[in-house]
Amino acid sequence: MAQEPEPTSLLPRPLLAVAIGLPALLAAGVAAAGLLLGAGGQDEAGDPASDRSGPLALVPVPAPAAESEQCRALLSKLPMQLVSNGAALSRRDLAAPAPAGAVAWGDAKHEPVVLRCGLDRPADLKPTSELRGISDVQWLVLSEGGNSTWYVVDRPAYVALTVPSDAGTGPLQDISTTIRDTLPAVPVNTRG
């Protein structure tokens, strides 16, 4: 009986070994570099936008009244520091182009607290919405992930304050007092 010829490879054995081993070696090198170099300014989730060491980049959102007289008055009265869960957070620089009507507080150890003034009326504000009063200011709270955004709904300009879940009540109390003392109360518009 005739013996079948052995299949031959188009690639020489040393080149075939390199072609098979190179992807595995590359993957191991990338993993090792990641372990040795760390996250490089990224948080645990790997989000480079949350780099806490430089200016804070904010996503632009519609804020048609951000440069209104009410927002200018409020921004000029905001505190330079907020107390968040016992830690004093200083004002944080915003990355250019910084959106009008926005201010942030934070440091290298804490997620930022962000205030935006002059926003559109929150779409979630309905006649049945549960509002929370803090220092005579009415807020609508919306939670998403580890943050909550609180919307001031009883002033001539809509204001949003986004706070991390571990911020405590300090930022809300300080901002509520400033809003109460700066902007007059108006009826809540739940109809849009």
pLDDT in tens for each of the 192 residues of the chain? 556 555 555 545 444 343 443 343 333 333 333 323 333 333 333 344 445 668 999 999 999 999 999 999 999 999 999 999 889 999 999 999 999 999 999 998 999 999 999 999 999 999 999 999 999 999 999 998 889 999 999 999 999 999 999 898 999 999 999 999 999 999 999 986
Quick one: DSSP state of residue 117? E
- Domain annotation covers residue 190: no
Residue 123: what are its φ and ψ, rounded to 5°?
-65, -25
d(CA 168, CA 180): 20
**How many of the other CB atoms lie within 10 Å of CB of 144?**
8
- Domain annotation covers residue 5: no
pTM here is 0.73
- Domain annotation covers residue 110: yes
Whether residues 76 and 157 fall in one domain: yes
Q: State which residues form the domain around 70.
A: 48-182
Whether residues 78 and 148 fall in one domain: yes
d(CA 111, CA 92): 11
Whether residues 32 and 63 fall in one domain: no
